[in-house]
Chain A
């Protein structure tokens, strides 16, 4: 059996569509019959990362690779990059504008939540070039 690959584009600054990709992937994982908690953890991590791309990164690409043992999601953007990854990993630290915080986003829980909901997270970032986040959720951790 071959792995299943899904590819999506995230549109920047469109909050009406924020969460669309994670919603689609969540439905696919449910249709496939992944355990409810695996689906939920993937959905939470993906939603956070997708919102990050909408707010900070001018959108980007999300690639999902599915096999029975592990779900791998790669979020790749060509945004501004993260200046201090240590700070960004701290709960509550945020560079989001007042406007975005007023909409209920940008609470500084993005990266910490993604890490908490996944079994593996890797962040590659370069200022002015972009950020690639890879997460894995194992079916039987």
Chain B
């Protein structure tokens, strides 16, 4: 299994080599080299922040298209609950959306919110019987699991070792389809309609399972135009909805806590907040809670980078839809009981600067020495997110000091025999470089 697969890729043609993504990446996983951004695969957690912030739309998610439907005799659309918040005017009957999914080519539809509800019931039971591992941390967001594996390994024992709603629902839907159609498993395709690239990576990696039950992942944004048109043409919607309202609430930050009816809980969303909570939990400075729900995207899955609608508008619509649905969990209909991971996840040491402790300490001394010669502005002009990151790249041999424009300026001034103005100012090196490029 290649543990370094990712679903975030760069379109070199569109990349202008600006440092917007470099600065915003929470893992410092991006550098600009030769006028283009590169993603350091080992550090990427598929949060999608670079896709979100790129002003040139050069960062793309690698997901499937509707063409995958041709690969199967029978296809099941597994819509993420966040899909329900994407369409104007749908505030009471989500069957319109589910029916339209069939009209654009799927044989049937099975709601991921149904699987989410089954998991909510089991989560509640798990927390009641847990004593030592509290608080339990939700594992529904793959980006959160990934950052814990890399940056907060001491918290791995707190992870809820349950399959994600997507995986769990795929197993459930496949079982039903097999019974109904009599087809062999390989002719049945489960296609997840995803709000984010992290879920696509989770399917490819299946880091806690022997294999993923999901056969393909299509972005909400990819099917949105077709689905929008199909929705307008639905005259009599089929009754395809199976979940109650709590499962739909999983689309929104805090919804998982509510669905699992855990009163002593904490939920946080957005990478910065997620990291702060994990830091605090690791330092034992959090108040005691039973359950922690973390979502990488602001607002929860409705804030996923592959959604179309503004997350706060989508959240409002989902609340309306939930009001129009019975507030009951329906796990009694669920025939699947193997909710647990096939195996636990492991510490991913990719962030270590060296695998040998002594060598790492020597290397850090070198990094600190280099860093002391950089001016600490963290300007990003070198293509690294901070002076410390550049110092680390230099120490490891991936970069040179000449990438720092301030060091180059000093060298040039030395060569030209120029000195700083009496008031301590000097002509900005950036402007000089730009001018000379224009002339050339």
Interface residues of A (CB under 8 A from B): 1-4, 19, 22-23, 26, 28, 30-34, 36-37, 39-40, 43-44, 47, 66-68, 104, 113, 139
Determine whether the beta carbon of B347 is less than 8 Å from that of A32.
Answer: no
8 residue pairs from A and B, CB less than 8 Å apart: A28-B364, A30-B151, A31-B351, A31-B353, A31-B360, A34-B357, A37-B154, A43-B282
Chain A residues with CB under 8 Å of B351's CB are 30-31
**Docked complex Cα distance between A104 and B287 (Å):** 9
Assess whether B360 is in contact with A32, with CB atoms less than 8 Å apart.
yes
Q: A43 to B283, alpha carbons, bound, how many Å?
A: 6
**Residues of A contacting B287 in the complex (Cβ-Cβ under 8 angstroms):** 104
Q: Is B285 an interface residue (CB 8 A)?
A: yes
Closest to B284 in A: A44
Q: How many residue-residue contacts, CB under 8 A, span A and B?
A: 62
Other-chain contact of B285, A36, A47, A66 (Cβ < 8 Å): A47
Q: Chain A's nearest CB lies how many Å from the CB of B356?
A: 8
Q: Is B342 an interface residue (CB 8 A)?
A: no
Structural contact, A31 and B352, CB atoms closer than 8 A = yes
Q: Which 9 residue pairs are nearest across A and B when measured between Cβ atoms?
A: A33-B352, A36-B153, A40-B154, A36-B154, A68-B357, A47-B283, A32-B360, A68-B358, A44-B284
Q: For chain B, what secondary structure do more than half of its interface residues adopt (helix, strand, loop), or is it mixed?
A: helix
Q: Once the chains are docked, how many angstroms separate the CA of A47 from the CA of B151?
A: 18
A residues in contact with B354, CB < 8 Å: 32-33
Q: Is B290 an interface residue (CB 8 A)?
A: no
Q: What is the size category of the interface that chain B forms with chain A? A: 20 to 34
B282 touches A139 (CB 8 A): no
A1 touches B358 (CB 8 A): yes
**Could you tell me the distance between the alpha carbons of A39 and B283 in the complex, rounded to whole angstroms?**
10
B361 at the interface (CB under 8 A from A): yes
CB-CB under 8 A for A32 and B282, given A1-B361, A1-B362: no
Q: How many Å from the CB of A89 to the closest CB on chain B?
A: 18
Q: How far is the CA of A91 from the CA of B151 in the complex (A)?
A: 31
Judged by DSSP, the binding face of A is helix
CB of B361 within 8 A of CB of A31, answer no
Q: In the complex, which residues of chain A have a beta carbon less than 8 angstroms from the beta carbon of B153?
A: 36
Chain B residues with Cβ below 8 Å from A19 are: 283, 285
Asked whether B365 lies within 8 Å of A2 as measured between CB atoms, the reply is yes
Q: Mark B276-288, 1 if CB is under 8 A from A, else 0.
A: 0001001111010
* Given A2-B365, A36-B154, A37-B154; 6 other pairs, CB 8 A cutoff: A23-B279, A32-B352, A33-B356, A40-B154, A43-B282, A43-B283
- B418 contacts A by Cβ under 8 Å: no
Q: From B153, B285, B287, name the one whose CB has the most chain A CB atoms within 10 angstroms.
A: B285
Given A4-B365, A31-B352, A33-B352, A22:B154 Cβ within 8 A? no
Report whether A66 and B361 are in contact in the complex, using a CB–CB cutoff of 8 Å. Answer: yes
Chain B proximity of A108: nearest CB distance (Å): 15
CB neighbours (8 Å) of A31 from chain B are 351-353, 360, 364
Does chain A have a CB within 8 A of B55?
no
Contacts of B360 in A (CB 8 A): 31-33
A4 to B279, CA, bound (A): 24
Cβ of B355 under 8 Å from chain A:
yes
**CB pair B154 A39 closer than 8 Å:** yes
Q: A2-B365, A39-B154, A40-B154 are in contact. Are A32 and B283 (CB under 8 A)?
A: no
Bound: A33/B352 CA distance, A: 5
A104→B151 CA distance, assembly (Å): 26
B349 beta carbon closer than 8 Å to chain A: yes
Question: Inside 8 A of A28's CB, which chain B residues have their CB?
Answer: 364
